[in-house]
């Protein structure tokens, strides 16, 4: 997709600190981390939002979940714990419209899941 920053990272046109990649998924460090570990786990396929997941993407989304768990292990945050977030649409504050999961760890997060901006 034109003008999609994550498609450009996937195409190698924009640099990123890649921590994992395979045929369908790539994971790289967030450029503006909010935790000691802040990785974005991203399908190579351009799916704009969580709402746009199609029946044929179910295997891919399952694979994304598996890789999030594997990257958590690679980053040594699996035992202490971590948070996985996806922002869908305007109210959630989604900025990059290419599906991605934030993997956050290395600190505590408390129980506030409903913070307002």
> Is the CB of residue 72 less than 8 Å from the CB of residue 103?
yes
Quote the least distance from Cβ 31 to Zn ion, whole Å: 16
> Is the CB of residue 22 less than 8 Å from the CB of residue 37?
no
Take residue 24 and report the two structure tokens written for it: 């369908």
Quote the least distance from Cβ 24 to ligand AMP, whole Å: 19
Binding residue (CB under 5 A) for Zn ion from 71, 98, 104, 105: 98
Identity of the residue, 77 or 100, whose beta carbon is nearer to ligand AMP in the bound complex: 100
What is the Cα–Cα distance from 47 to 57, expressed in whole angstroms? 9
> Given the rule CB under 5 A, which residues bind Zn ion?
1, 4, 6-7, 46, 98
């Amino acid at each position: 997709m034109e003008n999609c920053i994550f498609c450009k990272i996937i195409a190698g046109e924009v640099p990123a600190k890649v921590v994992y990649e395979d045929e369908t998924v790539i994971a790289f460090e967030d450029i503006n981390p909010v935790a000691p570990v802040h990785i974005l786990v991203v399908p190579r396929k351009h799916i704009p939002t969580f709402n746009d997941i199609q029946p044929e993407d179910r295997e891919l989304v399952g694979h994304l979940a598996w890789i999030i768990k594997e990257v958590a292990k690679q980053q040594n945050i699996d035992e202490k714990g971590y948070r996985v977030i996806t922002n869908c649409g305007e109210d959630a504050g989604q900025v990059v419209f290419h599906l991605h999961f934030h993997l956050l760890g290395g600190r505590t997060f408390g129980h506030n899941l409903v913070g307002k901006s």
